[in-house]
Structure 1
Amino acid sequence: MIQFDDFNKVDIRVGTILEVSDFPKAHNPAYQILIDFGPLGRRKSSAQITALYKKENLIGKQILAVINFPEKQIANFKSQCLILGATSSEKVILLKPENPVPNGSKIS
């Protein structure tokens, strides 16, 4: 069990996907993604979502991401946030707001 204060340390925000490109150097199939978090700026992430999502269909979609992890080196790429998803049958399904909200909105 964690304490509520532990949960409050995780900074989950809404962002909109701006760019998606293939990530051939990743160990598992993945995309490199650029996300707009509004007043918090733009951040890059790597996501293993190629099984269910095509690059062109991701542009403009809002997602949820943890933005207060340290950068993580993945092959030749620095991931600056962690996109959140649910795993079903070994595939990742993106978590997203039900209705559009401003980029950078905090999840609480």
Structure 2
Amino acid sequence: MAAPVKDNIGYDDWDKLDVRVGTIVSVDDVPGSKKLVALQVDFGSFQRTILTGLKEERENPKEIQGTQTLFLVNMAPRKMAGMTSEGMLLDIGYDDGIPSVIATLERPVPNGTRLC
């Protein structure tokens, strides 16, 4: 059964989100964490460390290394397991009880390209 649709938001809310394309340069274990990995992500003019719970969601989190996908880059930095996460990977499916997947692009675009 599909999850219910969340409450409507306005265009002003949507405009606050900064979603960009980035390439996952590396996927590393976070010491002492059973679920987190640290992604080093290239956004063209800047790089970020983004922590995500892929150890729980994937048999081999390193399989996404080199993939270009979507990230929310204007989340407030968050400390987790002694490290700071500077964004969020937009992965699909885990909350719906299916194996996690990441969005792939129709064709490569420059890192840092914004979702509009």
TM-score, reference length from structure 1: 0.86
CA separation of 1:102 and 1:53: change in aligned 2, threshold 3 A:
farther
State whether residues 19 and 72 of structure 2, in contact with CA within 8 Å, keep that contact through their aligned partners in structure 1.
yes
Displacement after TM superposition at 1:105 (Å): 0.4
* Secondary structure at the counterpart of residue 64 of structure 1: strand
Structure 2: runs of 5 or more not aligned: 1-7
Larger Rg: 2
- Gaps in structure 1 of 5+ consecutive residues: none
1:81 maps to 87
| Number of residue-to-residue matches in the alignment | 106
For residues 57-68 of structure 1, the aligned pairs below 5 Å read 57-68=63-74
Contact 1:17/1:58 (8 A) holds in 2: yes
Identify which of 42, 51, 70 aligns with 2:47: 42
Q: Higher relative CO (CA 8 A, sep ≥ 6), structure 1 or 2? A: 1
Match of 1:102 in 2: 110
Aligned counterparts of 1:72 and 1:92: Cα–Cα separation in 2: 22
> Aligned partners of 1:44 and 1:23: how far apart in 2?
11
Matched, 1:92 2:97: no
Q: CA deviation at 1:23?
A: 1.8
Distance 2:28 2:60 in 1: 10
1:28-78 CA-to-partner distances (Å, cap 9, x unmatched) read: 512111000002x00001112233362442221012100011100001110
Deviation of the 1:98 alpha carbon: 2.4
Partners of 1:49 and 1:93 within 8 A in 2: no
- The range that moved more, 2-11 or 91-100, is 91-100
Tell me, yes or no, if structure 1 residue 25 matches structure 2 residue 32. yes
CA distance in 2, matches of 1:15, 1:53: 22
Displacement of 1:10 in angstroms is 0.1
TM-score (norm 2): 0.81
More strand by share: 1
